[in-house]
């Protein structure tokens, strides 16, 4: 079966309702055959899993999908094994990965996606789709057993990517940080996805959806810019 992934940079664009900008992409991605989506709220810190799930459920209901929080199941692994589709929300990437390890979910989720179950994530939920979480923007508020993540795609993701520099701020830019990663991890590509954009993946086909562009970092090269009409299949090599 072909892998199907929808990897969003962010949940909400400035001035819009929650998950408003990707609604049509979500509907197109999930299609008419799926009715239930298993939601993983583990990245939520400072908000209950119930509250987080209710928030996410509203936009999914608008496009006729029922959302079920994985935390409501007595056995999270069984929930994954029977899921029609899986969605992982944003928040803190370190806590998200920590809970995925704690609940023994990395291999079950990986297996289901390999079997063709649609997977979507935003922010931290996109971070964990890569080989590791080493290109997250988040503070390491907790130490997971490993930085190794779901490895659903062979490239690293940096959501909320921006090249803006704060006025009078002398610290490193996001680009500087990602060059540091590439210097120590030369065999892995990094995709910087600005807000309001997403990657849709089916098998080895990768499509950028959105009005912006992505930056791809490779060892020994300047970051290159790619747009929605560019062939991105090389990312899955």
Bridge partners, 86 (sequence order): 38, 119
| DSSP labels, 14-43 | TTS-TT-TTHHHHHHHHTTT--EEEEE-TT
Residue range 165-181: average pLDDT?
Answer: 88
Q: Which of 100-104, 134-138, 145-149, 164-168 has the lowest mean pLDDT?
A: 164-168
Q: In what order do the strands lie in the sheet with 224-226?
A: 156-159, 190-193, 214-217, 224-226
Domain ranges of the chain: 4-155+193-210+228-236
Catalytic residue among 123, 126, 213, 215: 123
pLDDT-derived band of residue 78, with 50, 70 and 90 as boundaries? very high
Beta strands in the chain (DSSP E): 4-8, 36-40, 66-69, 86-88, 119-122, 156-159, 190-193, 198-202, 205-209, 214-217, 224-226
- Protein fold of 4-155+193-210+228-236: Rossmann fold (3.40.50)
Six-digit token pair at 198? 């997403």
| Residue 148 appears among annotated catalytic residues | no
What does the block give as tokens for 116?
């063709």
**Cα–Cα distance between 199 and 78 in angstroms, integer?**
28
Report whether 42 contacts 144 (CB < 8 A): no
**Token output for 85:** 């589709």
What's the pLDDT band for 164 if we cut at 50, 70, 90? Answer: confident
Residues sharing a CB contact under 8 Å with residue 23, sequence separation 6 or more, in sequence order = 59, 62, 63
Distance CA 207, CA 122 (A): 16
Q: Is 138 a catalytic residue?
A: yes
Given a cut of 80, whether residue 174 has pLDDT beyond it is: yes
| 129-149 pLDDT per residue, tens | 999 999 999 999 999 999 999
State the catalytic residue, choosing from 9, 126, 138, 215: 138
pLDDT in the model for residue 171: 81
Q: What is the pLDDT of residue 172?
A: 86
pLDDT in tens, 177-232: 999 999 999 999 999 999 999 999 999 999 999 989 999 999 999 999 999 999 99
Confidence of residue 125 (pLDDT cuts 50, 70, 90): very high
Tens of pLDDT along 46-68?
999 999 999 999 999 999 999 99
CA distance 215 to 222: 10
Residue 169 has a pLDDT of 78
Query: Is the pLDDT confidence value at 95 over 80?
Result: yes
Note the pTM of the prediction, 2 decimals.
0.96
Catalytic, 169? Answer no
């Amino acid at each position: 079966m072909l892998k199907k992934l929808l990897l969003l940079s962010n949940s909400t664009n400035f001035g819009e309702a929650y998950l408003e900008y990707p609604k049509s992409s979500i509907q197109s991605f999930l299609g008419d055959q799926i009715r239930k989506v298993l939601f993983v709220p583990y990245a939520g810190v400072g908000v209950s899993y119930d509250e987080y799930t209710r928030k996410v459920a509203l936009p999914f209901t608008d496009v006729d999908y029922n959302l079920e929080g994985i935390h409501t199941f007595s056995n999270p692994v069984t929930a994954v094994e029977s899921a029609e589709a899986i969605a992982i929300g944003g928040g803190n990437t370190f806590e998200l990965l920590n809970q995925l390890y704690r609940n023994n979910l990395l291999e079950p989720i990986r297996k289901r996606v390999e079997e063709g179950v649609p997977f979507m994530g935003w922010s931290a939920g996109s971070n964990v789709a890569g080989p590791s979480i080493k290109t997250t923007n988040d503070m390491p508020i907790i130490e997971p057993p490993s930085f190794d993540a779901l490895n659903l795609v062979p490239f690293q993701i940096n959501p909320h990517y921006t090249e803006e520099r704060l006025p009078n701020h002398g610290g490193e830019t996001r680009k500087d940080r990602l060059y540091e990663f590439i210097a120590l991890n030369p065999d892995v590509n990094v995709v910087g996805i600005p807000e309001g954009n997403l990657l849709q993946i089916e098998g080895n086909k990768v499509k950028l959806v959105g009005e912006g562009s992505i930056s791809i970092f490779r060892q020994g090269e300047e970051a290159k810019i790619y747009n929605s009409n560019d062939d991105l299949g090389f990312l899955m090599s």
